[in-house]
Chain A
Amino acid sequence: DADVTQTPRNRITKTGKRIMLECSQTKGHDRMYWYRQDPGLGLRLIYYSFDVKDINKGEISDGYSVSRQAQAKFSLSLESAIPNQTALYFCATSDTSTRRGNGYTFGSGTRLTVV
């Protein structure tokens, strides 16, 4: 099993629908992140959580919400999807061992299309 699992892998949804993207990890990391990737724009941070009771907005949080249900689970919701939320979404995890150079662990991504 992958260290960081994202579901679904691909999703097509209609404008106005609510959709949830899920992320679970087996790394035991305390920190979890949601990024969005658009062509030519790199990755942009949507939300991040440093532990179960800590939720923080990133640079592009409007139109999104998150829930940290447990240390291992971090879900991203689009309350009312719109076409410009079509993108590749990544969940990532890290812990304080970043100090020792381990970096983020990324999931395989969810390709979301809003029509």
Chain B
Amino acid sequence: SQQGEEDPQALSIQEGENATMNCSYKTSINNLQWYRQNSGRGLVHLILIRSNEREKHSGRLRVTLDTSKKSSSLLITASRAADTASYFCATDAGTYKYIFGTGTRLKVLA
């Protein structure tokens, strides 16, 4: 069964707009990661946030974590056409065995 569920399943925005996608999970975690996948290719690690952290930034990416609500969000600011991809959250309960969500398909229109 899936641990993480991303929301929305699909998102379409204009270039320059911000994109926000959410991840909800079921059990307590040690950390949560976000990955990007371009068109059926391998996933690329974007950012990791630990359970004792509330927010992390990496370039145009901002990730928040609310452990009380068992949820995380990924914000991509000033989106570009090259950001078009699927985005997945992955959670680790302390075993270094990550469980992935079902993903959000982001389309950025030029």
Contacts and interface: CB of A to CB of B under 8 A. Distances in A.
Interface of A: 4, 31, 33, 35, 40-45, 48, 50, 56, 58-59, 88, 90, 92, 94, 96, 98, 101-109, 111
A60 to B, nearest CB: 10
B41 A108 contact: yes
Contact of A101 (B48, B88, B101): B48
B48 A98 contact: yes
Interface in B91-110: 92, 96-103
Q: Is the interface of B mostly helix, strand, loop or mixed?
A: strand
Interface of B: 1-2, 31, 33, 35, 40-45, 47-48, 88, 90, 92, 96-103
A94 B48 CA distance: 13
Contacts of B92: 98
Contacts of B99: 45, 59
A45 B1 CA distance: 10
A107 B98 CA distance: 16
B96 A98 contact: yes
B41 A104 contact: no
7 contacts: A31-B96, A42-B2, A45-B97, A90-B42, A103-B45, A103-B48, A104-B98
B40 A109 contact: yes
A42 B101 contact: yes
B21 to A, nearest CB: 14
A104 B2 CA distance: 18
Contacts of B35: 103-104
Contacts of B102: 40-42
A51 B18 CA distance: 41
Contacts of A35: 100
Contacts of B47: 101
